[in-house]
Structure 1
């Protein structure tokens, strides 16, 4: 594909999950170190992306304070993050037709790398791949990836016709670049799934703040 300036790549924050392990509600609205997780995610990605949108279902007004466009899944029954990615690719195709690549990131990952977009894009180009995914500690994080907008119809078919739910099953169909990050002093892809994770995130936030000084 044509080389893209990483600074011109927009991002979607995926907040469409049901947070069952936390008893429901919006995980990104939980507070860590006096700031919501979503605030932290936006602060990490805003300097890296040309713009950000938020994928969330339900009443979008609850996110109004963040000033981001909020888009809902277009595939019913909460089929998972692939539905949010598809909604984002469709939104950018309709509203920013010049956009070729979109970053996706989980809205409950408060410590995302500050070089996320640049390194994923470099891996995509260097490996002549169609998609690029982040990894750490030997594990890939397929929710945090670069996606080609021109693959959205193939993704729609996988979701609607094939009832596909797992991201790695879909990415396995394409040339996939994987870019790994170190996990010291903390794993940048730590995500808060449970209340115990929130407590651990408080500890990591102090480490992260110390490392930034």
Structure 2
């Protein structure tokens, strides 16, 4: 648990290949007068002590953001959990007890994400909290938006080395809880995967989301 005072390290997960967007970094796609990642940073920065970006490849393409760029510590593009591990390792070196992750292609996530995740973890006595929204068959979890304890980083490293890739299999094994966010008037975890999604994001931005 966090102590209720110290803010976590925020880690933006930007490791996707953006195949449905024609390749490249989705976070660097234009949105409004800036880019997707600019909106993500603007929402996450006030909620965290500091920010870092998880991305592989040449870090120079993100230089103007002024954020530490953390490559996956394990080879093979193992997915979001490898990005979580990179964030946990970076946080451990700097004395953080927790990180909160957010996806670089989801520009309208809640402005109280960190507070709600922290509250959910503390209330449930759980080490991990994931964001969720109501769905037709129960809760839809959004595991790239979560609160993660540095204390579990070696366990996560072992799981990845042993072949685990699905986030919720690992989080469920550790008794993760959820923080549930409303989807009215829009889904705050709407993510941009296609050019059509980008147009929808522009409309939401113009509407003052």
Could you tell me the TM-score, scaled by structure 1's length? Answer: 0.93
2:184 aligned with 1:180, yes or no?
no
Q: Which residue of 2 aligns with 1:145?
A: 146
Q: Which residue of 2 aligns with 1:191?
A: 191
**8 Å Cα contact 1:7/1:48 also seen in 2:** no
Q: Which residue of 1 aligns with 2:55?
A: 56
Distance 1:203 1:43 in 2: 18
2:202 aligned with 1:202, yes or no?
yes
Distance 2:5 2:150 in 1: 15
Q: Which residue of 2 aligns with 1:164?
A: 164
Structure 2: tracts of 5 or more residues without a match: none
Distance 1:93 1:182 in 2: 33
Distance 1:64 1:200 in 2: 28
State the SS of the aligned residue for 2:129. Answer: strand
Q: Which residue of 1 aligns with 2:36?
A: 37
Structure 1: tracts of 5 or more residues without a match: none
Q: Which residue of 1 aligns with 2:117?
A: 120
**8 Å Cα contact 1:6/1:118 also seen in 2:** no
In the TM superposition, residue 7 of structure 1 has moved relative to its aligned partner by: 4.9
Distance 1:4 1:194 in 2: 40
Number of equivalenced pairs: 205
In the TM superposition, residue 19 of structure 1 has moved relative to its aligned partner by: 1.1
Distance 2:150 2:195 in 1: 35
**8 Å Cα contact 2:91/2:98 also seen in 1:** no
In the TM superposition, residue 142 of structure 1 has moved relative to its aligned partner by: 0.6
Could you tell me the TM-score, scaled by structure 2's length? Answer: 0.94
Q: Which residue of 2 aligns with 1:27?
A: 26
Q: Which residue of 2 aligns with 1:81?
A: 80
Distance 1:38 1:7 in 2: 25
Distance 1:42 1:107 in 2: 9
Distance 2:90 2:32 in 1: 33
Alpha-carbon distance change, 168 to 6 in structure 1, aligned in 2, over 3 angstroms? farther
Runs of 4+ in 1 over 6 A off after TM superposition: none
Distance 2:49 2:3 in 1: 12
